[in-house]
Amino acid sequence: MSENKKLFIVEDHQLFREGLKAMLAGYQGVEVVGESADGHEALRRIQKSKPDMVLLDLSMPKINGYSVMREIRRLFSGDIKILVISIHDSDHHVLQAFEEGADGYCIKDSSIEELRLAIRSVLEGKRYISPGIAEKVLEGYVERGKQLKPKSAWDSITYREQEVLKLIGEGYANKQIADLLNISPKTVEKHRASLMNKLDMHNAASLAAYAAERGLISKK
């Protein structure tokens, strides 16, 4: 890399975010040009800084990493590389991340050397998966292809409904959810009603408990 590549960090835990910046400070060829603690703010700042790569956590308040990826792909196509850095190591999380547009997936307990390798590989146009989870992901992918499993209630929920469910779980009212997702309160109400119907739940408390059970709510 002849000139510095611009990196943007999206991570809601300040201690880990500061650690990432410290690890990358001495890495020749890259430069951290911005950071954000939540997906909603990150999208605004990414549009201004136009980085070469986004280092992205999946579990964040307001808008999760999957939604951020979809919006980055909508706005910039493939111009911005996305490297997910997550605590989640299940094949479900990894495969969904790549379906949403990730270029690489690195787990948070990786070494500095592995993180730098992941960054370099993705910036060079290659795919990257942490070696520690690659075999598990491959096994999960193969297993999914062997048999058609009956869909659960969760499988019937759309990505937009997942976003609404997450925000309900975090205690936001319909108007606040509408503002965060740039949709109308009436649309939020339709998504809420659809969630209750699909999950056979009848109040916000049940939806919030389900959101927590599915790991949608960011934990500090």
CATH architecture of 5-145: 3-Layer(aba) Sandwich (3.40)
For residue 106, give the nearest of 78, 139, 76, 131 by alpha carbon: 131
Backbone region of residue 171 per phi and psi (left: phi > 0; alpha: psi in -120 to 50; beta: other values): left
The answer to whether 65 and 57 are in contact (CB under 8 A) is: yes
Q: How confident is the model at residue 159 (pLDDT cuts 50, 70, 90)?
A: confident
Q: How confident is the model at residue 139 (pLDDT cuts 50, 70, 90)?
A: low
Q: How confident is the model at residue 102 (pLDDT cuts 50, 70, 90)?
A: very high
- Say what the pTM is: 0.71
First to last CA, the chain: 36
Whether pLDDT at 138 is above 60: yes
* Residue spans per domain, the chain: 5-145, 154-213
CATH number of 154-213: 1.10.10.10
Give the pLDDT of residue 213. 84
Whether pLDDT at 142 is above 80: no
Compute the C-alpha angle 172/175/176, nearest 5°: 40
For residue 92, give the nearest of 136, 55, 127 by alpha carbon: 136
Tokens at 39, concatenated = 């997906």
pLDDT per residue over 170-182, tens digit each? 999 999 999 999 8
Rounded Cα distance between 212 and 168, Å, is 10
Give the pLDDT of residue 117. 93
Q: What is the DSSP letter of 220?
A: -
Give the pLDDT of residue 1. 44
The pLDDT > 90 percentage for the chain reads 49
Tokens at 185, concatenated = 């309160």
Query: Cα separations (Å) of 61 from 14, 21, 32, 102, 139?
Result: 13, 21, 22, 19, 31
Helices 174-181, 159-169: axis angle to 10 degrees equals: 130
Whether pLDDT at 220 is above 50: no
